[in-house]
Amino acid sequence: MSIGILGKKIGMTQIFDEQGYAIPATLLEVGPCTVTHIKQDKKYTKIQIGYEYIQPNKISKPIIGYFKKQNLPCFKHLKEYKDNDLHELSTGQILNISQINKANYINISGVSIGKGFSGYQKRHNFSRGPMSHGSKNHREPGSIGAGTTPGRVFPGKKMAGRMGYKKVSIKNISILNINKENNTMLIKGSIPGKRGNIIYIHQK
């Protein structure tokens, strides 16, 4: 049975193991989430979960009607994931951190930090031009075309542009500690996004 749950990134810290090595760690606030919809399919089951309650006057009327039809309160964030195993889940059931197995690995998805419009060196880790006297190509991209034929720039050319603010997924993250009373989890390493960002945790 796979579990999908939403949470927030609290921040990073470090802990020390028995040998005295410093281990980078990230503290997460996980759940609780509510199952808002279950759709059966031939190949898999679609499970939709809701996270964080929100006042009805802050969302649109069609969304209010959707929650009213399910006899559920309104949620700020919705996430749908697939599960191949048909397990016992019902609409309105609450998923919390206690259903995550500490011994197994987890996958985490989030939106990376936006860095704005960046040059090609910072964005793609390109090398710079010569810095000697007389050089006019210090941080310039250089030629981007391919001559008369084909006479255009191919799509996907690595150039300057907006950097970051993309969905990033990290697989096989180990869990260091789980606090069921405060709904917090300590994981090894870093995850995408800044403090307060919504993250999605999936465990098979």
Reported as a single tens digit per residue, the pLDDT across 56-66 is 889 899 999 99
Report the alpha-carbon distance of residue 105 to residue 191 in Å, rounded: 14
pTM of the model: 0.81
Where do the domains of the chain lie, and which CATH numbers do they carry? 3-114+166-203 (2.40.30.10), 115-163 (no CATH)
Reported as a single tens digit per residue, the pLDDT across 9-66 is 999 999 998 899 999 999 999 989 999 998 887 788 888 999 989 998 898 999 999 9
Is the Cβ–Cβ distance between 164 and 114 less than 8 Å? Answer: yes
Tokens found for residue 36: 């808002």
- Averages of pLDDT over runs of 10 residues in the chain (204 residues) are 88 92 94 88 86 90 90 91 75 87 91 94 92 90 83 90 94 92 92 92 88
